[in-house]
A = this chain, B = another copy of it.
Amino acid sequence: MKDAKTTRLTKRIATECIVVRLRALNRAVSKIYDDALRPLGLRVSQMNILVAAGVVGEARPADVCAALHLDLSTLSRNVERMKAKGWLEVIPDDDGRAQPFRLTRKGSALLSDAAPAWSKAQCRAKSILGGQSLDFLDRAMKRLNAASS
């Protein structure tokens, strides 16, 4: 631990590392939304899936995962829980492998009910990340998607 080279290196990582900061912000900001959504029995990860399904109507797991940069297995478990809660339902499909899903009436209603909590959390998040946060995040997502394809 007294090695000077190691110390320099450690300090460099500490002052420059992107992922440390990104992860800390993710935890803090996710907590803001989770706190706001908790009274509804909804988590931010689940809200994201409801939104994704709401936008496209018929959601294909692989597509949702590509959009959210989420592993299929992670989505699989969450969809399972959300089906059990009656928020999502699987749509029959010609391809026997596919498991496309959509919002149920209950899931749609929950999303509507969550709007005020979302707005409140969104405001707080914006005040912490700064006014350009959405710009920054959108640009980053575009680059990420360009790099992934």
Contacts and interface: CB of A to CB of B under 8 A. Distances in A.
Contact of A128 (B6, B11, B143): B143
B68 A20 contact: yes
A133 interface: yes
A73 interface: no
B18 A22 contact: no
A100 to B, nearest CB: 14
Interface in A111-137: 111-112, 115, 118, 121-122, 125-130, 132-134, 136-137
A3 B141 contact: no
B25 A22 contact: yes
Contact of A141 (B24, B33, B115, B141): B24
Interface in A67-87: 67-70
B144 A28 contact: yes
A18 B55 contact: no
A147 B134 contact: no
Q: Which 6 A-B pairs have the closest CB atoms?
A: A10-B54, A21-B137, A26-B26, A28-B69, A24-B69, A18-B125
